[in-house]
Amino acid sequence: MELLTTSEAADYLRLGERKLYELVAEGRIPCSKVTGKWLFPRHELDRWVVAGLMRPEGMSASEPPSIVGGSQDDLLEWSLRQSGSGLATLSEGTEGGVARLLRGEAAVAAIHFHGEAADANVAAAAAMPQLYDVVLVGFVRREQGLLLPHGNPKSLHSLDDVLASGARIAGRQRGAGADMLLNLLLAKAGAAHGDLNLLEPPCLTGPDLAAAVRTGRADCGIASRAAARAAGLEFMPLLWENFDLLLRQRTYFQPSFQALLKFLPLRPFADRAAELTGYDTSPAGQIRFFK
């Protein structure tokens, strides 16, 4: 450990010695008194400077935690474990994951935006000025639809049927991809959230929504085919969506993310996707957008 004297520390920090003594007296700078002399560990001074760094919008900490935020997905969670990536998941919806990525609280955001653009994920990534070094990596295409109880007792085959029947529908939190999809479908039907008999509070993940339908708290809800199969529910397909991973360029080259990328072309990944159902793995690992 390199220790600096008062004069050396002042030179290193480009401060006057008087100012340095003021910081010492106020307890605002790392230091230690040895035999009557103040000493300053150089590496602690470096950390002290970085801790007070003011970052412009879009600039995050150099090493975000090894977390994949954003949308929940069974195949993604399994792949992170099986690949030995060391990446953990924090599932709170697409926009929640992006917000954590921007704040430097997650390394990756799993996203499935929905909107008027032909490729909503690419459009969203391109429209984020804070992400000046963004990479959008394909994971899968995923089938979304209505989750229904066994036998479909209310004969629900579309969102129009849900609106007309007053069936109770389990929804997702605002900012979740499934909620964006619901809003898009409602707009096409000339309806709004207020026209639905919505279960409250909203479900925070697809499996939570599936549990609400399975236990009878809701008559239906929008989630993936894989979520329906895992819960033993019927599934009425609506569309296929892009399910992608959003990250910064420096994260792309980190060993943790590279471990995941190396796993995606392997046979176990495709086999697991087929087992869970509702996945097209052809985009896995492809760079779909960068800037």
Model confidence pLDDT, tens digit, residues 66-92: 999 999 999 999 999 999 999 999 999
pLDDT at site 132:
78
DSSP assignment string, the chain: --EE-HHHHHHHHT--HHHHHHHHHTT-S--EEETTEEEEEHHHHHHHHHHT----TT---SS--SEEEES--HHHHHHHHHTT---EEEES-HHHHHHHHHHTS-SEEEE---SSSSSHHHHHHHT-TT-TTEEEEEEEEEEEEEEE-TT-TT---SHHHHHHHT-EEEEE-TTSHHHHHHHHHHHHTT--GGGSEEEEEEESSHHHHHHHHHTTS-SEEEEEHHHHHHHT-EEEEEEEEEEEEEEEHHHHTSHHHHHHHHHTTSHHHHHHHHHH-SEE-TTTT-EEEE-
Predicted model pTM:
0.78
Residue 216's pLDDT is what?
97
What is d(CA 86, CA 210) in angstroms, rounded to the nearest whole number? 28
> What does the pLDDT read at residue 71?
97
Tokens of 223: 């989630």
Ranges of the chain with pLDDT below 70: 1, 50-62
pLDDT of residue 59: 54
For 279, residues 6+ apart whose C-beta sits below 8 A from its C-beta are: 75, 140, 141, 142, 143, 226, 273
Q: Which residues contact 182 (CB under 8 A, 6 or more apart)?
A: 159, 171, 172, 193, 222
pLDDT at site 2: 83
pLDDT of 131: 79
> What count of Cα atoms within 13 Å lies in the side-chain half-sphere of residue 175?
16
Per residue in 143-185, pLDDT (tens digit) is: 999 999 999 999 999 999 999 999 999 999 999 999 999 999 9
Give the pLDDT score at 51: 60
Contacts with 112 (C-beta within 8 Å, 6 or more apart), sequence order: 71, 94, 121, 142, 177, 241, 242, 243, 244
Domains parsed from the chain with CATH numbers: 3-51 (3.90.105), 67-142+241-290 (3.40.190.10), 144-240 (3.40.190.10)
